[in-house]
Amino acid sequence: MGSRSRVSGKVAIVTGGNQGIGRAIAEKLAEEGAIVVVGDLRDDRSSGAHGGEGITALTLDVTKEVSIRTFVDEVLQKFGRIDILVNNAGLVMHKTIDDQTAEEWDRLMAVNLRGPFLMAKYVVPEMRRQGGGTIVNIGSVEGFMVNPWHSAYAASKAGIHGLTLALSVDLGPDSIRCNTVCPGWIDTDLNRAYVEMHPDRALIERELGQLHPVGRIGAPKEIANAVLWLASDDSSFVSGEMISVDGARTKKISLPAILDEEYRAKLTKVQA
Ligand SMILES: NC(=O)c1ccc[n+]([C@@H]2O[C@H](COP(=O)([O-])OP(=O)(O)OC[C@H]3O[C@@H](n4cnc5c(N)ncnc54)[C@H](O)[C@@H]3O)[C@@H](O)[C@H]2O)c1
């Protein structure tokens, strides 16, 4: 039996699913037969962004407890159960510790860390009532290693990793699993600003690719494939894991450029 039948008919929530990684996750789960509810700041029903079969879009602000309560109630009214929670909504800030204000720090934490905690808080009672469920968080390789000027972002993602460990332990006895997918560099709006900072886009893209032993950055659907596995019964004995999906980027130790020339030349051939 493949994954298709294993999420087929299950009700799945995807936060921040209007675009980027969340959208790819929503589309993948729906394609595999799940009943998907996307919760995002804007309700994209009118724009047709979620015209796809099996996807319902509802308004949700994960920073507001009342919005989460209303959203979860609405999902239960419409579909009667919740089997899968994907905590994907997130934002990034590029700020030095000197420039980062406490208000900005709180705003980022409210989306990236407090949001997943609150979503779990309101979804878990229903999963428990049903006899089980699965939570998949979108963490980041930046929960392990960091880019410069990412103190708030890196702290929020390391926090997600800690929350994953805690929920896997606390909710295991309720047959609720919790895991985290840690994406590497994925082509979405979130980090497109980085690429657009430089006039030579092709050069930046080539160099970004070279940071990954597979020679390229990732696509949202490659994260969605990992989420599907963790959301499905195919991973039924996996809980409390942080799984990097990063083309081995975090496995390679940096070398002085001059000593790395041969390896980079090989990657250039892969990219050609
Ligand atoms: N793109 C990457 O390279 C990358 C790498 C590692 C981790 N991630 C993580 O993946 C997740 C998705 O990132 P993405 O690249 O698709 O970003 P994105 O900016 O393209 O999409 C983020 C989505 O979250 C929604 N959102 C923001 N605040 C929200 C709120 N308060 N309530 C509900 N929805 C809200 C946005 O409206 C948007 O639709 C994030 O958690 C991000 O940290 C991304």
CATH code for the domain of 133: 3.40.50.720
What letters, b where the CB count within 10 A reaches 16 and e where it falls short, cover 98-127? eebeeeebeebbbbbbbbbebbbebbbebb
pLDDT band for position 43 (cuts 50, 70, 90): confident
pLDDT band for position 29 (cuts 50, 70, 90): very high
What gap in Å lies between CA 19 and CA 248, rounded to an integer?
25
* Structural domain includes residue 5: no
Identify the domain containing residue 127 by its residue range.
11-271
Is the pLDDT score of 3 beyond 50? no
pLDDT band for position 195 (cuts 50, 70, 90): confident
- pLDDT at position 45, please? 54
What gap in Å lies between CA 138 and CA 242, rounded to an integer?
9
> Catalytic annotation on 122?
no
* Structural domain includes residue 155: yes
Question: Does ligand 1 come within 6 angstroms of the Cβ of 62?
Answer: yes
Digit-coded pLDDT (tens) for 216-266? 999 999 999 999 999 999 999 999 999 999 999 999 998 998 999 999 999
Distance 184 CA to ligand 1 centre (A): 13
In this prediction, residues 31-41 reach a mean pLDDT of: 97
* Structural domain includes residue 107: yes
Strand segments, DSSP code E, in the chain are 11-15, 35-40, 55-59, 84-87, 133-138, 176-183, 242-245
* Structural domain includes residue 111: yes
**Total domains in the fold of the chain:** 1
* Structural domain includes residue 4: no
What gap in Å lies between CA 23 and CA 15, rounded to an integer?
9
Report yes or no on whether pTM surpasses 0.85.
Answer: yes
Candidate from 14, 18, 21, 117 with most ligand 1 atoms within 8 A of CB, to mutate: 21
What gap in Å lies between CA 169 and CA 149, rounded to an integer?
32
Is the pLDDT score of 50 beyond 80? no
What residue's CA is closest to ligand 1, atom 2? 186
Least confident residue range of 36-45, 68-77, 149-158 = 36-45
Least confident residue range of 5-9, 120-124, 261-265 = 5-9
- pLDDT at position 1, please? 44
